[in-house]
Amino acid sequence: MEKDKNFKIVNEIINDAFWLGYILEIKRNIIDYSQKEILSSFLVFFSSIFVEETLKSNHGGLTGNRNVTLEEIENLRNYNLKYCPSSNSKTSQKIIKEMGIDFNTYMFDVILYLNESELLDINLRNWELNKKENFELLDGIVSTPIRWIEILMPEIYDALKDALKSLSDKYINRISNSKINKKTYFSFKLFRKSKISEDGKLYILQRYGLIKSTLFIESIIDDDISFDIGRLHFNFKNFIMKAKAIILEVFWNDKKTNSSINLIDEIFEKNRDCIDDKFYPINRKCRNNLHYSDYHFLSKKDIDVLNKYQNLYLNNALSVFDSNLTYKFNKLYKVFLAIAKLEYWSRPKSLKEDKK
């Protein structure tokens, strides 16, 4: 029985590693930088969990000869899973200052990522991660999952490479055909019709793209892809289901630790009316499979419950967020943008470099 459990843990790790490597392969084969950024934000979030958990369970390590410490990996993982922005925290104050966030004035202070006209992400969430000094850490973490298989399980790596190659083209074309645009915008106008607190606004800026980018990737790879290599089973639905379970547990942790953000209570109230209580322990069980020291079996009935309620939960959260957001790219927006560009190019060169 213990031997079977150990095999299931290994299969869980390899399944996660393969799909993270698969999404990385798609990213490497697309040209559009905005599309790459959306995939990168997803990969950084979930690969940081993968790397930290494999290290903790003695199943692997960071790829390559990198000057990266375990503490840095743990901090990144905890930032992704546990950091909840607050106007009183030093981290948030630093980000607000560097980005020039101003919820009271027309200032171009955020970048919106849009899929056609639908909001997909906001740049605040990855502000700290996109700094040059974090490149080695992020590059190592994102490239580790598939490299982990190559080093530790070379006997199946060639078969997995073939699987990567045969599966990729279709989804490379799908994401290449999506129209992702970046628009500079004002956080003041983004929340102009909302009455939520500053912490609530920061919360939306932090969590919105996490949900949307995950659902976007699920929509790109929306086929029921599964295959076997020997005894090992690979299944995309299992992977994305766990990714969504992790996000839902992030919301639960936010509720426990940030009771002052009324927005979170609104999400939980909305879910209380339409989500069966039996869903939550099943979702927790799915999420716990991110800990590679144990394995939690999900029955077909459990999976049916997750399929029924996970996206409902996430879309309920998005509907609460969307009710507080307003963004229009009309003639007035174009006038403000033209004035901002004129002001920028009329500045002394030294001030432009400081702004960069």
Cβ–Cβ under 8 Å, residues 111 and 122: yes
pLDDT at residue 43 greater than cutoff 80: yes
Q: Rounded distance, CA 190 to CA 321, Å?
A: 11
- Summary mean pLDDT of the chain: 87
Q: Is residue 356 one of the residues assigned to a domain?
A: no
- Structural domain range at position 297: 2-325
Q: Rounded distance, CA 173 to CA 221, Å?
A: 11
Q: Is residue 117 one of the residues assigned to a domain?
A: yes
Q: Is residue 254 one of the residues assigned to a domain?
A: yes
Sign of CA dihedral 121, 127, 132, 137: negative
Cβ–Cβ under 8 Å, residues 234 and 162: no
pLDDT band at 356 (very low <50, low <70, confident <90, very high): very low
Q: Rounded distance, CA 40 to CA 52, Å?
A: 18
pLDDT at residue 164 greater than cutoff 80: no
Q: Is residue 355 one of the residues assigned to a domain?
A: no
pLDDT at residue 169 greater than cutoff 80: no
Q: What does the pLDDT look like over 283-314, one tens digit per residue?
A: 999 999 999 989 999 999 999 999 999 999 99
Q: Rounded distance, CA 156 to CA 149, Å?
A: 8
Q: Is residue 342 one of the residues assigned to a domain?
A: no
Specify the pLDDT at position 4: 87
Lowest mean pLDDT among 115-124, 253-262, 334-343: 334-343
Q: Is residue 180 one of the residues assigned to a domain?
A: yes
Specify the pLDDT at position 348: 57
One-letter amino acid for residue 25 of the chain: E
Sign of CA dihedral 132, 135, 138, 143: positive
Give 337's contacts (C-beta < 8 A, 6+ positions apart): 108, 184
Q: Is residue 91 one of the residues assigned to a domain?
A: yes
Q: How many domains does the chain have?
A: 1
Q: Rounded distance, CA 121 to CA 129, Å?
A: 15
Parallel, antiparallel, or unpaired for β 108-115 and 180-186?
antiparallel
Strands (E) located in the chain = 108-115, 118-122, 180-186, 226-229, 232-235
Q: If you average pLDDT over each of 154-163, 229-238, 299-308, which comes out highest? A: 299-308
Sheet containing 108-115: give its strands across: 118-122, 108-115, 180-186
> Once rounded to an integer, what is the mean pLDDT over residues 69-75?
86
Specify the pLDDT at position 338: 76
Specify the pLDDT at position 351: 45
Neighbours of 143 (CB within 10 A): 19
Specify the pLDDT at position 56: 87
Neighbours of 136 (CB within 10 A): 14
Q: Is residue 309 one of the residues assigned to a domain?
A: yes
Could you tell me the end-to-end alpha-carbon distance of the chain, in angstroms, rounded to an integer?
A: 58
